[in-house]
Amino acid sequence: MPGMSTNGHSRSGMTLVELMVSTGVGSLVLASIVTVFVTSNRTFVSMGHYVAMDQASRSALDQMSRDIRRSKNILTFSTNKLVFNYSGTTNLTYMYDLENRQLLQWKTGGVTNVLLSSCDLLTFSMFSNIPQAGGTLTSTTDVNKGKAISVAWRCSRKVLGKRLNTEDMQEAQIVIRNKPVL
């Protein structure tokens, strides 16, 4: 009789084929679970980076807007550095440090503050004080004509060892309110 041993008791157990099939199915289930975990982990980390970078961008833009609007005049302009006369003999400087991927801010005799980090691109633009038809502003490099500053940046961070853009480009135009219109 099949399945019976010579002494009349039945044998229970798995054959080698059954063991290999169950091991294969178990491995597939485990691999699926690991894949879902890794994907979820990467998404969670990306969202955390996005939120942190978005908060840093908003904070930097708020700080720049307040300071530039309070400034008296723009003294020096380049696409990576701005110097304003803030009040009296105090100057306000914003500089993009490409090597360290940071936007720096300081006032004469003050401490240097890092407003943004992990910045892949940052550029300043300056516009004249006379709006064109439709309210558009004309680009200028002449600090005597400059009335509005545009700043644009893009930041990214590594997520599990791979660089991902976890924030879109940010851009804003800021008017130097205390500078008289020529």
Three-class DSSP labels, 2-26: CCECCCCCECCCCCHHHHHHHHHHH
Average pLDDT over residues 130-158: 82
Whether 102 maps to a domain, the answer reads: yes
b/e code 97-116 from CB counts within 10 Å (16+ = b): eeeebbbbbebeeeeeeebb
Domain that holds residue 41: 16-175
Whether 7 maps to a domain, the answer reads: no
What is the distance between the alpha carbons of residues 8 and 57, in angstroms, rounded to a whole number? 80
Looking at the chain, the whole-number percentage of residues with pLDDT higher than 90 is: 42
Domain count along the chain: 1
Average pLDDT over residues 126-139: 75
Whether 46 maps to a domain, the answer reads: yes
Cα 138 to Cα 59, 77, 142, 149: the distances in Å are 28, 15, 11, 11
- Would you say 151 and 122 are in contact if contact means Cβ atoms under 8 Å apart? yes
Whether 4 maps to a domain, the answer reads: no
Looking at the chain, the whole-number percentage of residues with pLDDT higher than 70 is: 83
Classify residue 60 by burial, with Cβ atoms within 10 Å: 0-12, 13-18, 19+. buried
**Mean pLDDT for all residues in the chain:** 84
What is the distance between the alpha carbons of residues 71 and 88, in angstroms, rounded to a whole number? 10
pLDDT at 117 over 60: yes
Residues contacting 22, CB < 8 A, separation 6+: 14
pLDDT at 2 over 80: no
Whether 180 maps to a domain, the answer reads: no
Give the pLDDT confidence score for residue 7 in this predicted structure.
Answer: 61
pLDDT at 4 over 80: no
Whether 181 maps to a domain, the answer reads: no
Helices (H) and strands (E) in the chain, counts: 1, 10
Cα angle 129, 135, 136 (rounded to 5 degrees) comes to: 75
* More confident position, 137 or 69: 69
pLDDT at 47 over 60: yes
pLDDT tens digits, 79-95? 999 999 998 899 999 99
The closest of 150, 140, 125, 151 to 182, measured between CA atoms, is 140
Average pLDDT over residues 146-155: 89
Whether 9 maps to a domain, the answer reads: no
pLDDT at 113 over 70: yes
Whether 182 maps to a domain, the answer reads: no
pLDDT at 175 over 70: yes
